Chain A
Amino acid sequence: MRRPPGSSLVTVYLARRISTLVATLIAASLVVFALLAVLPGKPAQVILGTQATPESVAQLTKQLGLDKPLWQQYLDWMRGLVTGDYGNSYISQLPIGHQIAQSLAVTAPLVGLGLAVGLVIAVPFGVAAALLRRRAAGTLIAATSQVGIAIPNFIAGILLILVFAVKLGWLPASGFVTWSTDPWQAFTSLVLPGVALGVVEGALISRYVRSAVLEVLRSDYLRTARAKGLSRGRALVRHGFRNGSIPVLTVIGLEIPSLIVGAVVVESVFTLPGIGTLLLQAVANRDLIVVEDVVMLIAVTVLVVNFLVDFSYRLLDPRIARA
């Protein structure tokens, strides 16, 4: 008999995974920096416009620290990221850290709401599609999810606006008041965007839930559970839930980037002042340092979430607790 995993094994695993994570993050930062550093056109020139004198351009370049060698600019930027000093926007001169924090207060709840809506849709429909697979209802659910996947979230958003804002007038179609001003109104502004984001994810995830449940239904251990006297439903809940959630968790992990990127688009549909809006404005204004910071923030989030999902398998599935 093999021994259960010792804590030292977990430490080794963590150390290895974290070092990979850090290496990937550094590589990602290099990509972002390089892409924006080598592009034609000096930021100072862009900011000041074509009318600016060479002297003022040179002065602004120096002021922004863009006259230093590239490696030093990179190190300065990295130091800022690590210490939380994100610098000031080229354009508005506002501290970027503050802007990002404000935007996150919109985007983070939006992504959370989207994921929640997605799961609320995916789990019951996926389970139903699996249990009813031989009936018309099961086929109908599977076909509906196929259609749901094909609808881009911005179209879903516009349809929701059309029905719930324009026709029924139940919920706001756009805009956002801060949480501190009116938490309830802030929440209602996020309902339609959250649903728009979640419906499409839900359709996708429901397909994976369906196949996970089918897998469980076919399993020998479920038959054993039935042979022990558990009813069909109880056997499925007691023995299927944890087993079935392992593949579904994989998909959720893989879908986090889509949710974040989806949020960028959905914010644009509902004109919410979130990370996406901040990023798109910065792109439009060629406010490169903001673009760099926000892109890096998203990349870090994606990689860290991926890491956490990976780690949570180990809690769910004792078979991969070693290795």
Chain B
Amino acid sequence: MSSMQVTVAPVEPLPEEELARRPSGGLAYRLLHDASALVGGTIVLCICLAALVAVVWTPYDPLAVDPSHALQPSSWNHLFGTDEYGRDVLSRLLAGAKLILYSGAVSVAIAVAAGVPLGLAAAIRGGLIDDALMRFVDLIYAFPALLAAIVLAAAVGASTTSAMIAIGVAYVPVFARVTRSSALQVVGSEYVLAARAYRRSTLAILWRHVLPNIRATLIVQMSLLFSLAILAEAGLSYLGLGTPPPEPSWGRMVEEAQSYLSRDPMLAIWPGIFIAIAVLGFNLLGDGLRDVLDPRLRSSR
């Protein structure tokens, strides 16, 4: 019995709803037409603007204590009211945006700077390095970010730096894993084999072929990780293991406001809302970027 040449694919594809709504056009166009990317991007942009503004100007000095105006409700003078020391909540929230972006960026930078080379090395060299990496990943898995930060705080004392380092290190395996698996696909591809046949150096191959191909995946992961870093930082400051007072951090503002929950609940709710919105923004941006840049990963989270 011979087969026929007419049929290319024997399976009749069921048209999925995704196929119908795949927009065409440039990257910017597609990002603007992805609801997640649009909402997330707008939120992230607003936070960045708030942080930038806070660098040069805040309505009041976020550290200025004024006991005569303690625990005031929202008013035109103090949009979000004042805290128990009479400090302007809005000013502190704006200053907190600066801190959250800074610590998030440093944490992500640490995770990327250590995780990406590790992942690349594992993908290119394989064998022993690969095995060692996977064991290392298993090991770090046992120390979630917050736990690592607690240990570090016990060892060297609580500070923004120790929190950032702990969070960054805790997420190194995430980047190592993602880099490894996506780099493995590129390394196995024919054009890399061709480049190897031309005796291009490993570094040149990494730089010219591998990195450009896994860039999209990494950007998506960075955005998602940024939201995790914000969550971890907020949690640590809430526990008093992050940025020490009086520097305004959103997590600590919640903690300080908790004692006045029955008198002035909004004092705790405002920073809470800011944290949630910041996390939501980076999550949505990450999801949107993934849909636009890397449709293969769409279903994974």
Contacts and interface: CB of A to CB of B under 8 A. Distances in A.
Task: Answer yes or no: are A and B bound together in one complex.
Answer: yes
Interface of A: 20, 23-24, 27-28, 31-32, 35-36, 39, 134, 146-147, 149-155, 158-159, 161-162, 166, 207-208, 211, 214-215, 257-258, 260-261, 264-265, 268-269, 279-280, 282-283, 286, 288, 291, 295, 298-300, 302-303, 306
A261 B154 contact: no
Contact of A158 (B144, B154, B268, B299): B268
A23 B142 CA distance: 13
B150 interface: yes
Interface string B275-301: 111011001100100000000000101
Contacts of A24: 135, 138-139, 142
Contacts of B138: 20, 24, 303
Contacts of B141: 257, 302-303, 306
Given A158-B272, A211-B299, A257-B144, A269 B283 contact: no
A243 B133 CA distance: 31
Given A265-B238, A302-B142, 20 more contacts: A20-B138, A23-B135, A27-B139, A36-B155, A150-B227, A151-B276, A152-B238, A154-B254, A155-B254, A155-B275, A162-B261, A166-B261, A208-B301, A258-B144, A261-B145, A279-B150, A280-B241, A291-B154, A295-B147, A299-B142
B300 to A, nearest CB: 8
A261 B241 CA distance: 14
20 contacts: A35-B151, A146-B284, A146-B287, A147-B280, A149-B279, A151-B279, A152-B272, A154-B235, A158-B268, A258-B144, A261-B145, A264-B150, A265-B146, A268-B239, A269-B258, A280-B241, A283-B150, A283-B241, A291-B150, A298-B142
Residue from B142, B152, B227, B284 having most chain A Cβ neighbours under 10 A: B142
Interface in B208-251: 227, 231, 234-235, 238-241, 251
A280 B301 CA distance: 33
Interface in B34-56: none
Contacts of B268: 158, 162
Contact of A260 (B144, B151, B153, B254): B144
A111 to B, nearest CB: 13
Contact of A39 (B156, B231, B261): B156
Contact of B283 (A149, A283, A286): A149
Interface string B247-279: 000010010001001100100110010011101
B17 interface: yes
B60 interface: no
Contacts of A150: 227, 276-277, 279-280, 283
Contacts of A147: 276, 280
A308 B283 CA distance: 30
Given A166-B261, A280-B239, A286-B154, A31 B276 contact: no
A85 to B, nearest CB: 22
User: Which 5 pairs from chain A and chain B are nearest by CB?
Assistant: A150-B280, A155-B272, A150-B279, A299-B142, A283-B154
A264 B146 contact: yes
B146 A207 contact: no
Contacts of B207: none
B143 interface: yes
Contacts of A260: 144
B151 A36 contact: yes
Contacts of B239: 264-265, 268, 280
Contacts of A211: 299
Given A31-B139, A269-B258, A261 B151 contact: no
Contacts of B301: 207-208
A265 B235 contact: yes
Contact of A166 (B143, B144, B265, B280): B265
Interface of B: 17, 135, 138-139, 141-147, 150-156, 227, 231, 234-235, 238-241, 251, 254, 258, 261-262, 265, 268-269, 272, 275-277, 279-280, 283-284, 287, 299, 301
A152 B276 contact: yes
Contacts of A27: 135, 139
Contacts of A155: 254, 272, 275-276
Contacts of A283: 150, 153-154, 241
Nearest to B40: A146
Contacts of B235: 152-154, 265
A313 B144 CA distance: 23
B144 A32 contact: no
A24 B127 CA distance: 19
A298 B147 contact: yes
B238 A146 contact: no
Residue from A147, A261, A279, A306 having most chain B Cβ neighbours under 10 A: A261
A39 B155 contact: yes
Residue from A152, A166, A208, A282 having most chain B Cβ neighbours under 10 A: A152
Contacts of A35: 151-152, 155
A134 B17 CA distance: 9
Contacts of A291: 150-151, 154
A51 B156 CA distance: 22
A152 B155 contact: no
Contact of B238 (A154, A207, A257): A154
A32 B139 CA distance: 11
A318 to B, nearest CB: 24
A303 B135 CA distance: 12
A40 to B, nearest CB: 8
Contacts of A215: 299
Contacts of B241: 280, 283
A28 B238 contact: no
